[in-house]
Structure 1
Amino acid sequence: MITFFNKFRIGLLSMYVLLGILISSVSSCSKDELEIQNDFPFEVKVMPIPKEIANGNTVEIRLTIQPTGNYNNTQYYLRYFQFDGQGTLQYNDTSPYLPNDLYPLQAKQFRLYYTSNSTVSQSFDVWISDNFGNERQLSFEFNSSN
Protein backbone atom coordinates (compact mmCIF):
# COMPACT_ATOMS: atom_id res chain seq x y z
CA MET A 1 0.00 0.00 0.00
CA ILE A 2 1.30 3.43 -1.00
CA THR A 3 1.13 5.95 1.73
CA PHE A 4 0.61 9.66 1.35
CA PHE A 5 4.30 10.24 2.09
CA ASN A 6 5.39 7.85 -0.71
CA LYS A 7 3.00 9.53 -3.17
CA PHE A 8 4.49 12.90 -2.20
CA ARG A 9 8.06 11.58 -2.76
CA ILE A 10 7.16 10.12 -6.17
CA GLY A 11 5.49 13.39 -7.20
CA LEU A 12 8.48 15.42 -6.01
CA LEU A 13 10.91 13.09 -7.79
CA SER A 14 8.87 13.37 -11.02
CA MET A 15 8.92 17.16 -10.73
CA TYR A 16 12.73 17.15 -10.33
CA VAL A 17 13.14 14.92 -13.39
CA LEU A 18 10.93 17.21 -15.50
CA LEU A 19 12.77 20.25 -14.21
CA GLY A 20 16.10 18.62 -15.09
CA ILE A 21 14.92 17.85 -18.62
CA LEU A 22 13.69 21.41 -19.05
CA ILE A 23 16.95 22.94 -17.82
CA SER A 24 19.10 20.68 -19.99
CA SER A 25 17.05 21.45 -23.10
CA VAL A 26 17.21 25.20 -22.49
CA SER A 27 20.92 25.18 -21.69
CA SER A 28 21.71 23.11 -24.80
CA CYS A 29 20.56 26.05 -26.98
CA SER A 30 23.59 28.30 -27.19
CA LYS A 31 23.75 31.84 -28.44
CA ASP A 32 25.78 30.62 -31.43
CA GLU A 33 22.91 28.45 -32.66
CA LEU A 34 20.51 31.38 -32.84
CA GLU A 35 20.98 33.01 -36.23
CA ILE A 36 19.40 36.24 -37.27
CA GLN A 37 19.85 36.80 -40.97
CA ASN A 38 20.88 40.29 -41.97
CA ASP A 39 22.80 39.49 -45.17
CA PHE A 40 20.38 39.39 -48.10
CA PRO A 41 21.55 39.08 -51.70
CA PHE A 42 19.89 41.51 -54.08
CA GLU A 43 19.10 42.09 -57.72
CA VAL A 44 19.13 45.41 -59.55
CA LYS A 45 16.40 46.15 -62.07
CA VAL A 46 16.97 48.75 -64.79
CA MET A 47 14.22 50.39 -66.80
CA PRO A 48 14.82 50.40 -70.59
CA ILE A 49 17.18 53.09 -71.86
CA PRO A 50 18.06 54.39 -75.35
CA LYS A 51 20.78 52.61 -77.33
CA GLU A 52 22.12 55.84 -78.80
CA ILE A 53 23.24 59.14 -77.37
CA ALA A 54 24.56 62.31 -79.00
CA ASN A 55 27.47 64.32 -77.70
CA GLY A 56 26.19 66.70 -75.00
CA ASN A 57 22.91 64.80 -74.43
CA THR A 58 21.84 63.18 -71.18
CA VAL A 59 20.16 59.81 -70.61
CA GLU A 60 18.16 59.02 -67.48
CA ILE A 61 18.82 55.56 -66.00
CA ARG A 62 16.18 54.36 -63.50
CA LEU A 63 17.33 51.65 -61.11
CA THR A 64 15.70 49.65 -58.32
CA ILE A 65 17.53 47.48 -55.81
CA GLN A 66 15.44 44.42 -54.94
CA PRO A 67 16.83 42.48 -51.94
CA THR A 68 15.64 38.92 -51.25
CA GLY A 69 14.84 39.93 -47.65
CA ASN A 70 14.52 43.02 -45.51
CA TYR A 71 17.12 44.24 -43.04
CA ASN A 72 16.89 47.90 -42.05
CA ASN A 73 20.63 48.43 -41.53
CA THR A 74 21.71 47.43 -45.03
CA GLN A 75 23.60 50.23 -46.75
CA TYR A 76 24.06 50.25 -50.53
CA TYR A 77 26.92 51.82 -52.47
CA LEU A 78 27.66 52.68 -56.09
CA ARG A 79 30.86 52.98 -58.09
CA TYR A 80 31.42 53.10 -61.82
CA PHE A 81 34.16 52.82 -64.42
CA GLN A 82 34.02 54.09 -67.99
CA PHE A 83 36.22 52.17 -70.42
CA ASP A 84 35.04 53.45 -73.84
CA GLY A 85 34.26 57.04 -74.82
CA GLN A 86 33.84 59.92 -72.42
CA GLY A 87 30.95 61.10 -70.30
CA THR A 88 29.78 61.86 -66.79
CA LEU A 89 27.52 59.94 -64.45
CA GLN A 90 25.71 61.62 -61.59
CA TYR A 91 22.84 61.27 -59.16
CA ASN A 92 20.19 63.99 -59.60
CA ASP A 93 21.87 67.39 -59.49
CA THR A 94 24.94 66.33 -57.46
CA SER A 95 28.49 66.63 -58.75
CA PRO A 96 29.43 63.97 -61.32
CA TYR A 97 30.79 60.74 -59.89
CA LEU A 98 34.49 60.04 -60.14
CA PRO A 99 35.41 56.65 -61.63
CA ASN A 100 36.10 53.89 -59.06
CA ASP A 101 35.10 56.04 -56.08
CA LEU A 102 32.50 54.58 -53.74
CA TYR A 103 29.30 56.57 -53.18
CA PRO A 104 26.54 55.73 -50.66
CA LEU A 105 23.03 55.36 -52.03
CA GLN A 106 20.23 56.95 -50.03
CA ALA A 107 17.36 54.87 -51.47
CA LYS A 108 16.72 51.52 -53.14
CA GLN A 109 14.97 53.24 -56.02
CA PHE A 110 16.94 56.02 -57.71
CA ARG A 111 17.90 57.66 -61.01
CA LEU A 112 21.30 58.22 -62.52
CA TYR A 113 22.03 60.64 -65.33
CA TYR A 114 24.68 59.91 -67.93
CA THR A 115 25.83 62.82 -70.11
CA SER A 116 27.83 62.06 -73.23
CA ASN A 117 31.03 64.01 -73.81
CA SER A 118 32.05 61.98 -76.83
CA THR A 119 31.33 61.49 -80.54
CA VAL A 120 32.17 57.75 -80.38
CA SER A 121 30.45 54.78 -78.75
CA GLN A 122 30.56 54.77 -74.98
CA SER A 123 30.64 51.92 -72.45
CA PHE A 124 30.75 51.91 -68.68
CA ASP A 125 30.01 49.56 -65.79
CA VAL A 126 28.12 50.44 -62.64
CA TRP A 127 28.74 48.34 -59.54
CA ILE A 128 26.15 48.29 -56.75
CA SER A 129 27.31 46.73 -53.48
CA ASP A 130 26.10 46.47 -49.90
CA ASN A 131 27.86 46.53 -46.54
CA PHE A 132 27.82 42.68 -46.43
CA GLY A 133 29.93 42.19 -49.56
CA ASN A 134 27.12 41.43 -52.02
CA GLU A 135 27.73 43.10 -55.37
CA ARG A 136 26.05 43.40 -58.78
CA GLN A 137 27.59 44.65 -62.01
CA LEU A 138 25.56 46.52 -64.62
CA SER A 139 27.02 47.25 -68.07
CA PHE A 140 25.82 50.15 -70.22
CA GLU A 141 26.67 50.82 -73.86
CA PHE A 142 25.62 53.73 -76.02
CA ASN A 143 26.24 54.13 -79.72
CA SER A 144 27.04 57.62 -80.87
CA SER A 145 24.32 59.48 -82.74
CA ASN A 146 24.47 62.78 -84.56
Structure 2
Amino acid sequence: MTAFINFFKIGLLPVCVSLAILTASASLVSCSKDDELEIQNDFPFEVNVMPVPKDVTKGQKVEIRITIQRKVNYSNTQYYLRYFQFDGTGTLQYYDEPPYQPNDLYQLPTEQFRLYYTSTSAVSQSFDVWISDSFGNEKQVSFQFNSAN
Protein backbone atom coordinates (compact mmCIF):
# COMPACT_ATOMS: atom_id res chain seq x y z
CA MET A 1 0.00 0.00 0.00
CA THR A 2 2.85 2.38 0.75
CA ALA A 3 4.32 1.73 -2.68
CA PHE A 4 1.00 2.77 -4.21
CA ILE A 5 0.98 6.00 -2.16
CA ASN A 6 4.61 6.68 -3.09
CA PHE A 7 3.61 6.18 -6.73
CA PHE A 8 1.23 9.14 -6.44
CA LYS A 9 3.76 11.27 -4.52
CA ILE A 10 6.46 10.85 -7.13
CA GLY A 11 4.15 11.96 -9.89
CA LEU A 12 4.45 8.87 -12.07
CA LEU A 13 0.70 8.61 -12.46
CA PRO A 14 0.57 11.19 -15.29
CA VAL A 15 3.44 9.37 -17.03
CA CYS A 16 1.63 6.01 -16.81
CA VAL A 17 -1.63 7.52 -18.04
CA SER A 18 0.21 9.12 -20.94
CA LEU A 19 1.85 5.80 -21.83
CA ALA A 20 -1.54 4.01 -21.72
CA ILE A 21 -3.08 6.63 -24.03
CA LEU A 22 -0.09 6.43 -26.39
CA THR A 23 -0.31 2.61 -26.53
CA ALA A 24 -4.04 2.71 -27.25
CA SER A 25 -3.52 5.34 -29.97
CA ALA A 26 -0.78 3.32 -31.63
CA SER A 27 -2.92 0.20 -31.74
CA LEU A 28 -5.85 2.09 -33.26
CA VAL A 29 -3.67 3.83 -35.86
CA SER A 30 -2.10 0.52 -36.90
CA CYS A 31 -5.47 -0.66 -38.32
CA SER A 32 -5.27 0.46 -41.92
CA LYS A 33 -7.73 -0.03 -44.75
CA ASP A 34 -5.84 -3.16 -45.76
CA ASP A 35 -6.63 -4.72 -42.39
CA GLU A 36 -10.37 -4.02 -42.55
CA LEU A 37 -12.73 -6.81 -41.65
CA GLU A 38 -13.66 -8.69 -44.79
CA ILE A 39 -17.34 -9.43 -45.21
CA GLN A 40 -17.92 -12.37 -47.52
CA ASN A 41 -20.51 -11.69 -50.17
CA ASP A 42 -19.47 -14.31 -52.67
CA PHE A 43 -20.82 -17.80 -52.09
CA PRO A 44 -19.66 -20.22 -54.82
CA PHE A 45 -21.68 -23.28 -55.67
CA GLU A 46 -21.51 -26.40 -57.83
CA VAL A 47 -24.21 -27.92 -60.04
CA ASN A 48 -24.65 -31.69 -60.09
CA VAL A 49 -26.73 -33.36 -62.79
CA MET A 50 -27.84 -36.98 -62.76
CA PRO A 51 -27.11 -38.86 -66.02
CA VAL A 52 -29.61 -38.39 -68.85
CA PRO A 53 -30.26 -40.51 -71.96
CA LYS A 54 -27.99 -40.00 -74.93
CA ASP A 55 -30.71 -40.57 -77.54
CA VAL A 56 -34.16 -39.04 -77.76
CA THR A 57 -37.09 -39.42 -80.15
CA LYS A 58 -39.48 -36.71 -81.27
CA GLY A 59 -42.12 -36.23 -78.56
CA GLN A 60 -40.07 -37.97 -75.86
CA LYS A 61 -39.85 -36.29 -72.45
CA VAL A 62 -36.51 -36.52 -70.62
CA GLU A 63 -36.20 -35.93 -66.88
CA ILE A 64 -33.16 -33.89 -65.80
CA ARG A 65 -32.40 -34.00 -62.06
CA ILE A 66 -30.30 -31.10 -60.82
CA THR A 67 -28.85 -30.30 -57.42
CA ILE A 68 -27.17 -27.04 -56.48
CA GLN A 69 -24.49 -27.71 -53.88
CA ARG A 70 -23.37 -24.71 -51.90
CA LYS A 71 -19.94 -24.46 -50.35
CA VAL A 72 -21.27 -22.05 -47.73
CA ASN A 73 -24.79 -22.14 -46.35
CA TYR A 74 -26.09 -18.57 -46.66
CA SER A 75 -29.87 -18.45 -46.32
CA ASN A 76 -30.51 -15.31 -48.40
CA THR A 77 -29.04 -16.64 -51.64
CA GLN A 78 -31.46 -16.78 -54.58
CA TYR A 79 -30.85 -19.03 -57.59
CA TYR A 80 -31.96 -18.42 -61.16
CA LEU A 81 -32.06 -20.44 -64.37
CA ARG A 82 -31.97 -19.52 -68.06
CA TYR A 83 -31.39 -21.68 -71.10
CA PHE A 84 -30.67 -21.43 -74.78
CA GLN A 85 -31.23 -24.12 -77.41
CA PHE A 86 -28.86 -23.90 -80.36
CA ASP A 87 -29.49 -27.21 -82.19
CA GLY A 88 -32.84 -28.86 -82.88
CA THR A 89 -36.06 -27.88 -81.14
CA GLY A 90 -37.71 -28.78 -77.88
CA THR A 91 -39.18 -27.39 -74.70
CA LEU A 92 -37.71 -27.18 -71.22
CA GLN A 93 -39.90 -26.81 -68.16
CA TYR A 94 -39.80 -26.95 -64.39
CA TYR A 95 -42.03 -29.85 -63.27
CA ASP A 96 -45.49 -29.22 -64.79
CA GLU A 97 -45.15 -25.43 -65.13
CA PRO A 98 -45.32 -23.72 -68.55
CA PRO A 99 -42.20 -24.22 -70.71
CA TYR A 100 -39.31 -21.81 -70.29
CA GLN A 101 -38.61 -19.21 -72.94
CA PRO A 102 -34.99 -19.17 -74.19
CA ASN A 103 -32.75 -16.59 -72.49
CA ASP A 104 -35.43 -15.53 -69.99
CA LEU A 105 -34.42 -15.60 -66.34
CA TYR A 106 -36.46 -17.78 -63.95
CA GLN A 107 -36.10 -17.93 -60.18
CA LEU A 108 -35.58 -21.42 -58.76
CA PRO A 109 -37.57 -22.07 -55.57
CA THR A 110 -35.36 -24.96 -54.40
CA GLU A 111 -31.79 -26.18 -54.71
CA GLN A 112 -32.81 -29.66 -55.76
CA PHE A 113 -35.24 -29.89 -58.65
CA ARG A 114 -36.21 -31.59 -61.88
CA LEU A 115 -36.45 -30.14 -65.34
CA TYR A 116 -38.27 -31.84 -68.19
CA TYR A 117 -37.05 -31.55 -71.76
CA THR A 118 -39.48 -32.59 -74.49
CA SER A 119 -38.06 -33.12 -77.95
CA THR A 120 -40.05 -31.55 -80.79
CA SER A 121 -37.71 -32.41 -83.65
CA ALA A 122 -36.33 -35.49 -85.37
CA VAL A 123 -32.72 -34.22 -85.43
CA SER A 124 -30.01 -34.00 -82.81
CA GLN A 125 -30.63 -31.37 -80.16
CA SER A 126 -28.31 -29.30 -77.98
CA PHE A 127 -28.97 -26.68 -75.34
CA ASP A 128 -27.22 -25.02 -72.42
CA VAL A 129 -28.64 -24.29 -69.00
CA TRP A 130 -27.11 -21.51 -66.90
CA ILE A 131 -27.73 -21.43 -63.17
CA SER A 132 -26.77 -18.23 -61.41
CA ASP A 133 -27.08 -16.87 -57.90
CA SER A 134 -27.90 -13.46 -56.50
CA PHE A 135 -24.16 -12.70 -56.12
CA GLY A 136 -23.32 -13.06 -59.82
CA ASN A 137 -21.84 -16.57 -59.72
CA GLU A 138 -22.90 -18.67 -62.71
CA LYS A 139 -22.49 -22.28 -63.82
CA GLN A 140 -23.20 -23.65 -67.30
CA VAL A 141 -24.45 -27.16 -67.98
CA SER A 142 -24.64 -28.43 -71.58
CA PHE A 143 -27.01 -31.10 -72.87
CA GLN A 144 -26.89 -32.92 -76.18
CA PHE A 145 -29.33 -35.53 -77.41
CA ASN A 146 -28.87 -37.63 -80.54
CA SER A 147 -31.85 -38.34 -82.71
CA ALA A 148 -33.17 -41.86 -82.18
CA ASN A 149 -35.35 -42.83 -85.12
Please give the range of the TM-score, normalised by the shorter of the 2 chains: 0.7 to 0.9
1:14 is displaced (CA, Å) by 2.2
**What's the CA shift string for 1:54-112, capped at 9, x where partnerless?**
11111111111122222222211110000111110010111100000000111111111
**Letter in structure 2 aligned against 1:100:** N
Distance 1:107 1:28, change over 3 A: farther
* Larger deviation, residues 58-67 vs 89-98: 58-67
Aligned to 1:74: 77
The 3-state SS of whatever aligns with 1:124 is: strand
**Letter in structure 1 aligned against 2:109:** Q
Q: Over aligned residues, Cα RMSD in angstroms?
A: 2.4
- List alignment gaps of at least 5 residues for structure 2: none
1:124 is displaced (CA, Å) by 0.3
1:119 is displaced (CA, Å) by 1.0
Distance 1:14 1:116, change over 3 A: same
Aligned to 2:104: 101
Which of residues 53, 56, 61 in structure 1 aligns to 2:56? 53
Q: Does 1:37 align with 2:40?
A: yes
* Equivalenced residues, count: 145
Q: Does 1:144 align with 2:147?
A: yes
Distance 1:89 1:98 in 2: 8
- List alignment gaps of at least 5 residues for structure 1: none
Which of residues 119, 123, 131 in structure 2 aligns to 1:128? 131
Q: In percent, how many aligned pairs have the same letter?
A: 65
Aligned to 1:7: 7
1:12 is displaced (CA, Å) by 5.1
Aligned to 1:25: 27
Calculate the TM-score normalised by the size of structure 2.
0.84
Distance 1:136 1:142 in 2: 20
Distance 1:145 1:59 in 2: 13
* Larger deviation, residues 97-106 vs 18-27: 18-27
